[in-house]
Structure 1
Amino acid sequence: MINQPPQEATGLAQWILLRLKPFVDDDAASLFADEAEEGAVTAGRPWSILIVDDDSEVHAAIGLALSGAEIDGRRLRLSHCHSASEARTRLAGDEEDIDLVLLDVVMESAEAGLDLLESLRAEPETRSLPVLIHTGQAGRFSENMVRARYDISGYLPKSSVTQQGLLSALRAVLQEGRAA
């Protein structure tokens, strides 16, 4: 009998391996600014994205997927929290302007991310902060259920997100927030 990792670890490893490899459908040229293009200047400060997830492999995968990416000529600066309570403390400290939170649901408890989201919406300082749900529990926390109960900017199931899909979702949320 061959030793196999637990099903949860196997699923995550598959997500990381499958989702970070370039896909035929992904247009790699559109993911990154053409550095050879003359006159290409990054406009303004980088977009600040706070990744809140208890899985360090997810943080690494997102960092790799977004490495060198730009949205509207602005680089992405990724910050990391590994629990909802850590994110709550960081956001309350107001140490930096966060443009978007990429939030997992299941962390230190089954609904830690949603509890954090409720507290963010209750505070005037974070009420309008864009939050993109990024969950591995899409069956348990469906997009329809989450959208009906919570004010979110977007929803990405970890099982089906691609590099291009992640960047497109971030772009849509950031551009929507800028237009508001």
Structure 2
Amino acid sequence: MTPWKVLIVDDEEGIHGITRMIFRGYEFEQRPIELISATSSDEAKKILREQPDIALALLDVVMEQDNTGLLLVEHIRKELDNQDIRIILRTGHPGYAPEAQVIVTYDINDYLSKAELSASRLLTSVIVALRSYRDIRSARIAPAQEEISDPQENNDLLPTTVGHLHSLLAPLLKSSTRLEQMDLNPVAKDLCTNLKAQLDRLNTNLLLLQGTQQATETTVISTSALMDDVLRVFLPQTRQEGWLIDYQIQSPLEQVSTDHLLFRALLICSVELALLQAQGHDLKIVLQPTDGQQIKLTVSQTSGHGSFKQTPWAQYLSTCLESLCQQLGGSTIEADDNHLISCLLPQV
């Protein structure tokens, strides 16, 4: 099971050791707790930037400065714009930051004094915070799931979906008609290639629509071979409309251990969603490792800025993307000016 990530930020090595001892072997809702350590504000900022799926931060107030922890809270909420992560402040100097003032002024979830802190009190506070994080993440996904859960309740989804499937089916039918009228020469072979790609894309979209992507088994795969396979699926459209999809795989991700079918569906879903924003611009898919032993997947426009339209199909694809990321043990990252799609996945 995917662990709950908890970041410990404290300049006292002993605090890290004690905290690890308390949570050794501990699970919440059958998911282990993964403790990540940082001994300075700068180190914590780097970790938080690279791992936005951290559920909880245990912050020391007094480190490099008397208010380092408080400044880090503001950095998380304002500069990183991370409103989901739960924050618990711990301090050995309560006089520097009075509890009542801190609770009112800063967006935190608890304020604990190290001098009075027991293992039981810390466990209770952490579990309450993780439960809150779980509910926040569920609430973000729930509205889109409710909107698409019953097509008969949403008059916009069915015609939009039918129109999307028809646009995929039309070139397939045209190619198959032409194929029947000629011998198997190089042109016919090319048509066969296009036909297979269009069928493959249609089949994957139907599976996404039906929500039937089932996990198989983890195997070692060649990421370049998988990327070539995914690009082949979109080749007919890129040829017809005159744009390109490129990819870059950074070392050491030439081979990864993952669920091949889920990862393939994730890549296709990412490109489908990016196409709704790119409006005919070239796309680039990048796989890069992070310092947190994760894989960062991004789909970007090579020029201009994407324009995202909140259609029912786009919302459905967004929900599918989130679900596929979770099945692979990862999470999506909110899109920014540089990337249309961003995901973090575990690097096994």
- TM-score for both structures, normalised by structure 1: 0.71
Q: Quick one: distance in 1 between partners of 2:49 and 2:3? A: 21
Aligned-pair distance for 1:150?
A: 0.2
Question: Residue deviations 1:29-84, cap 9 Å, x none?
Answer: xxxxxxxxxxxxxxx31111000000001101111111111122221100000011
Q: Quick one: distance in 2 between partners of 1:64 and 1:89? A: 25
The equivalent position to 2:115 in structure 1, one of 159, 165, 168, is: 159
1:78 alignment partner, SS class: strand
Q: Quick one: distance in 2 between partners of 1:89 and 1:177? A: 21
Q: Highest Rg: 1 or 2? A: 2
Aligned-pair distance for 1:125?
A: 4.2
Residue 100 of structure 2: aligned partner:
144
Identify unmatched segments of 5+ residues in structure 1.
Answer: 1-43
Higher relative contact order (CA 8 A, sep 6+): 1
1:173 aligns with 2:150: no
Q: Quick one: distance in 1 between partners of 2:98 and 2:111? A: 9
Q: Quick one: distance in 1 between partners of 2:67 and 2:95? A: 14
Q: Quick one: distance in 2 between partners of 1:124 and 1:66? A: 27
Residue 28 of structure 2: aligned partner:
71
Q: Quick one: distance in 2 between partners of 1:131 and 1:98? A: 10
Superposed, 1:84-163 pairs within 5 Å as 84-94=41-51, 97-123=53-79, 125-163=81-119
2:7 alignment partner, SS class: strand
Letter in 2 for 1:85: D
Residue 58 of structure 1: aligned partner:
15
Superposed, 1:44-55 pairs within 5 Å as 44-55=1-12
Aligned-pair distance for 1:87?
A: 0.4
1:92 alignment partner, SS class: helix
Letter in 1 for 2:92: G
Are the structure 2 counterparts of residues 110 and 68 from structure 1 closer, same or farther at C-alpha, using a change threshold of 3 Å?
A: same
Report the structure, 1 or 2, having the larger helix content.
Answer: 2
1:159 alignment partner, SS class: helix
1:91 alignment partner, SS class: helix
Aligned-pair distance for 1:151?
A: 0.3
Aligned-pair distance for 1:138?
A: 1.7
2:115 alignment partner, SS class: coil
Letter in 2 for 1:80: S
Report the structure, 1 or 2, having the larger strand content.
Answer: 2
Aligned-pair distance for 1:156?
A: 1.3
Percentage of matched positions with identical amino acids: 35
Are the structure 2 counterparts of residues 60 and 118 from structure 1 closer, same or farther at C-alpha, using a change threshold of 3 Å?
A: same
CA RMSD of aligned residues (A): 1.4
- TM-score for both structures, normalised by structure 2: 0.38
Aligned-pair distance for 1:168?
A: 0.5
Identify unmatched segments of 5+ residues in structure 2.
Answer: 137-348
Q: Quick one: distance in 1 between partners of 2:95 and 2:30? A: 36
